[in-house]
Chain A
Amino acid sequence: MLSLIAKRLGIGLITVLAVSIIIFLGTKILPGDAAELRLGQSASAENLAVLRERLGLDKPYWQQYLSWLVNFVQGDMGNSLSGDTPISGLIADRYQNTLIVSGLTALIGVPISVALGVMAAMFPGSTYDRVLTFTSVTLVAAPEFFTATLLVLFFVLFLGMGSTIVSGSTDGMGLFELIQHFALPITTLCFVIASQLIRMSRAAVLNVMASPYIEMAILKGIPRRRIILRHALLNAIGPIVNVIALNLAYLITGVIVVEIYFSYQGLATLIVQGVQTRDFVLVQSLGMIFCATYVVIMLIADIAAILANPRQRHPK
């Protein structure tokens, strides 16, 4: 089992390295290098040469790549092209907001959704199941800004609670204050991930429920609750964990609409800014961070699935 986990770790590391090469080469393919972008099109050839030497852009690609990678691993992501400020500082501010929103969404959304999905699988075809399935299909179809608008209409305009814009510092806030602060973005995101999680965990459990060993449990006179919780759920953990992981990764990287809608500063808006200002040093760094986050989350999901499977936990 340990070798299996080590193998996963190795594959994760290779993935990150491969992506780093792609990201690095990607920025090299684009016309214009960092020196040109900084000095503008009217810069003289001498000035460009000096700046290139200072930035190390005159060295071969592989040397540039290695020094970039080594610096990145050490936390030095260089300076932003547009503002000449350290990128690590730019990201640190935003990362906190993103982490708080994603973390809280996961904390609240994941257990509720999985529980709802498993309950739907306990009574397939019941009114509860149909209402839940219908609602979650509707939510999958609805884009985030639409869900967000509905929430704002209901809570802010109709009930008069909270505000449409999330602003102000979060320093020193406790868990409940944070939840309150980010209430609407978190609720919106919960709806988005819930729809998928409910459907997938329902499907995963129902899939297991069709197995012969579940029929055997029924024929042994085991109560339905125990069949689901003891017999089915253990076997459905693998697929469910994978869906959770995909959703968590989405929360870190794909929440741009929600960030913009509620006007708070997160990582997703930062990468858009980077693209708009052609600040590819910033885009490079964010790309690496997103990739690493994805890989780590998937790694955790893989390891959890390995641990949940007795065939892999206890080989013959």
Chain B
Amino acid sequence: MMDDIVFQAKNLQIHAMRDDGSELPIVKGVDFKVHRGEVVALIGESGSGKTTISLSALGYCKPGLKFAGGQAELLGQDLTNMTTDALRPLRGQRVAYLAQSAAATFNPALKINEQVTEAPVIHGTKTQNDANLRALELYRALELPNADTIGDRYPHQVSGGQLQRLMAAMALCGDPDLLVLDEPTTALDVTTQIEVLKAFKKVIRDEGAAAIYVTHDLALVAQIADYIVVLYNGEIKEKGPTDVIINNPQHPYTKRLIAASRLEPQTQHSAQEQPAEIEPPALTTTQIDAGYGPTKDGRPLVQILHDVDLSVQRGQTVGVIGESGSGKSTLARVVAGLLPPASGSVVLADETLPPALAQRNRDQLRRIQFVYQMADTALNPRQRIRDILGRPLEFYTGVSGREKKDKIDELLEMVDLPKSFAGRYPHELSGGQKQRVNLARALAASPDVILCDEVTSALDSIVGANVIALLKDLRERTGIASVFISHDLSTVASYAEHLVVLYAGRVVESGLTHQVLSNPQHPYTRLLIASVPEMRIGWLEDAAKARITPTGTSDNKFSTASGCPFMPRCPMVIDNVCSRVTPPRRQANPGSNHGFACHHDVNALAVETVSPESHQI
């Protein structure tokens, strides 16, 4: 067993080449081994060098990087000083790579099957026919629908979760000795993530392959890895078998990582705020119907939102949660006025807002601000931070000169950034700092309501947790109300007092966060909660066993004018009712505002409760 080493990094060093010719160490002497049949996880935040290290197993450095010392040995052969031509037979053959975003990794102009079978055919280890058969076998093993024909499609014709599994097929088609998986499930919804993870784990076991699994998510690692390497700033902080690292971490950084992925649900805060409900909510939406495309009889061609109600008090947060395509961002766009709703109204404190942006006056615009997910694309790369913050200040408050400068300093201070950042450009900032600037820009308008669209999704867990802490602090200090949109239940739960669960554009359940989480009623809410990975070994197997609902793919998600949208996946469908009648709204407890939309009442649902024991988030 000891001799059966597939990959070994020996004092591996990788440097970045700067424009002035100097070199910056990115990976500073890393040692670890991957045995046959073993999954080794590289864990750390962005900038820790985890992706760079994983790519060394393919002898590849991203443009601008180079091997500076040590060895990366694949099957005893050092890759660091090999030419591209010498590496080519190994790549795709001995070692295969799975990237984070399958949507970007598949060539949009080529059919899937050609891309899946390309490597072994080009390397001459399989004929096209053999490769096709192997691909088909993998499609079946990965539980892809329509395995016989899926290869004839183009990448844009299948869903994200399917594409991610197809990428696994692409990697495995050449029967590699080593798989390198770079955050392969990060871009997926939680309910889809389980399925993909399960498929990966099964295939890795069945094929007896070794794997390097790169991720920032410790709970995921606990499910799939045998051995964990914790990286920080290009150095190994701690390494060891999975159960040791998870249950008995030694290094402070590992402890922080574990703490950051165990965010505590928001409970007591809301209880104190209850009396505040007497004053009118800061923001209310009533019976919003909205969608895209030309409208006919007052209905848009593609209706996304059906009858969505939401309300948030001053100084509070409502979390909107749902899978991608559930209409979360559409809701935010309706509130912001970017998408006028087909019907329903948006009320800001006491005033009903005009539906379209162009009809709102400057003060109405000021009072609602949007914080986008990708700070990278939301900040103009050619403007200094002072200009990015100065524009909304001037526009909404009319300040200028000395006063404006003071306000900019104040804003930077509010988001815990040094004043000196005012003169910097966005690319000189880290991801977390950029997201703070993004937030400061929204705050520059001194809004009543901020709409946060997946603001922590692009950030590492520790950085994301810091941004959440900042948001909580700002909420206390300014009394701002926020709508917090996310697909990540644990993040929402740690910040929002109220929860709205969206499924296919309908509110399926809503209420105080702790009530919804501790006593979920709607089958979808239950599925969602059960899908959040827990940091314990064996959770994946338990969760997979307990699952009674079919895979969450966008194929069986549909938006209907009447009936329950969750019907195709629901384990307790009532024939001839769920498909035709829109479910009534029910109360989970008398007197509370915890409600859900289902044809079953609380008692009927209680009978079906799925693995109720511990779904702590």
Contact = CB atoms under 8 A, between A and B. Distances in A.
A binds B: yes
Interface of A: 211-213, 215-223, 226, 230-231, 234-235, 308-311, 314, 316
B107 A223 contact: no
A314 B157 contact: yes
22 contacts: A211-B104, A212-B104, A213-B104, A213-B106, A216-B106, A220-B170, A221-B88, A221-B89, A221-B90, A221-B92, A221-B93, A222-B92, A222-B119, A222-B122, A223-B88, A235-B107, A310-B109, A310-B156, A311-B154, A314-B153, A314-B157, A316-B156
Contacts of A213: 104-108
A221 to B, nearest CB: 3
B110 A230 contact: yes
A215 B101 CA distance: 12
Given A219-B92, A220-B97, A231-B109, 12 more contacts: A212-B99, A212-B104, A213-B107, A216-B97, A219-B96, A219-B97, A220-B92, A220-B118, A223-B122, A309-B109, A310-B109, A310-B154
Contact of B109 (A212, A235, A316): A235
Contacts, number: 77
B570 interface: no
B119 A311 contact: no
A65 to B, nearest CB: 32
B99 A234 contact: no
A221 B107 contact: no
A216 B119 contact: no
Contacts of A220: 91-92, 96-97, 118-119, 122, 170
B306 to A, nearest CB: 22
A234 B119 CA distance: 19
Contacts of B89: 221
B187 interface: no
| A interface SS class | helix
Contacts of B96: 219-220
Nearest to A221: B91
B123 interface: yes
Contacts of B93: 221
Given A213-B104, A213-B105, A226 B122 contact: yes
B60 A311 contact: no
A49 to B, nearest CB: 53
Contacts of B104: 211-213
Given A311-B156, A314-B154, A316-B156, A219 B60 contact: yes
B194 interface: no
B142 to A, nearest CB: 18
A235 B123 CA distance: 24
Nearest to A227: B107
A234 B110 CA distance: 8
Contacts of A316: 156-157
B51 to A, nearest CB: 12
A231 B107 contact: yes
A306 to B, nearest CB: 13
Nearest to A313: B154
Q: Which 6 A-B pairs have the closest CB atoms?
A: A221-B91, A220-B92, A234-B109, A212-B104, A221-B92, A221-B88
A135 B194 CA distance: 56
A309 to B, nearest CB: 8
A200 to B, nearest CB: 19
Q: Taking each of A217, A221, A226, A309, which has the highest tally of chain B beta carbons within 10 Å of its own beta carbon?
A: A221
Nearest to B114: A230
Contacts of B468: none
B156 A218 contact: no
Contacts of B92: 219-222
B58 interface: yes
B565 to A, nearest CB: 19
A2 B507 CA distance: 38
Contacts of A219: 55, 58, 60, 91-92, 96-97
Contacts of B58: 219
A221 B123 contact: yes
Nearest to B88: A221
Given A216-B97, A220-B118, A222-B122, A231 B110 contact: yes
B87 interface: yes
A311 B108 contact: yes
B96 to A, nearest CB: 7
Contacts of A217: 107, 118
A127 B476 CA distance: 62
Nearest to A212: B104
Contacts of A308: 109
Contacts of B170: 220
A235 B108 contact: yes
A219 B96 CA distance: 7
Contacts of B90: 221
Given A212-B101, A311-B154, A316-B156, A221 B122 contact: yes
Q: Taking each of B96, B109, B119, B154, which has the highest tally of chain A beta carbons within 10 Å of its own beta carbon?
A: B109
Contacts of B106: 213, 216
A221 B92 CA distance: 6
A226 B119 CA distance: 12
B477 to A, nearest CB: 41
A316 B155 CA distance: 10
A32 to B, nearest CB: 45
Contacts of A309: 109
Contacts of A226: 122
